[in-house]
Amino acid sequence: MNRPQPDEYSTFNATYIDKIGDGDIISILGHQQENTWHFLKSIPEEKGEYAYAEGKWTIKEVVGHMIDTERIMAYRLLRFARNDASELKGFEQDDYVANARFNSFQMDDLADELMLLRKTNLYLFKTLNNEEKTRRGMANGNPVSVNALLYIIAGHELHHINILKDRYL
């Protein structure tokens, strides 16, 4: 399946999709799982509660946000792949982070959770055929295809890994 076309996602999500190069998106997601896990495991526990500026999330909160977002995007993907036409509401990421207590978790546990979440999601992602990947739904008031959600998941993770590398470490 090819990269998603602009009518398959909102302009907001173009930021994430544009970060992903050419190639098989399932393979990209699989490689990303391994690379991200190794990177997160390299972050010392004592840095986990560091934020680069006042009011910014800590490293642990960024990783927790990545976990929450992958769960939500995978749920949307499942619903739309199964031809569920119900419109899905958006979520307020800052409220999710504020109510999650991520700073009380261990960095290693957050890294493992993200890796295991991706591993289980890959079982679903690998089962999708081309017809299922073209299915669409409405999320947060915008149309989105299953294929675009695969790219959004990968691009969102890459976006936050780059922020961690550039601003936190």
Q: What is the pLDDT along the chain (169 residues), one digit of tens a residue?
A: 799 999 999 999 999 999 999 999 999 999 999 999 999 999 999 999 999 999 999 999 999 999 999 999 999 999 999 999 899 999 999 999 999 999 999 999 999 999 999 999 999 999 999 999 999 999 999 999 999 999 999 999 999 999 999 999 9
Are 163 and 152 within 8 A, CB to CB?
Answer: no
Where in the sequence is the domain holding 47, given as residue range(s)? 6-168
Q: What is the CATH number of the domain that holds 153?
A: 1.20.120.450
79: in domain: yes
18: in domain: yes
104-123: buried (b, 16+ CB within 10 Å) or exposed (e) per residue? ebebeebbebbbebbeebee
77: in domain: yes
87: in domain: yes
> Which among 71, 51, 70, 66 is positioned nearest to 97, based on CA atoms?
66
Residue 136: predicted pLDDT: 98
42: in domain: yes
65: in domain: yes
Structure pTM?
A: 0.97
46: in domain: yes
1: in domain: no
Structural domain tally of the chain?
1
Residue 15: predicted pLDDT: 96
Residue 144: predicted pLDDT: 98
83, exposed or middle or buried, with CB in 10 Å at 0-12, 13-18, 19+? exposed
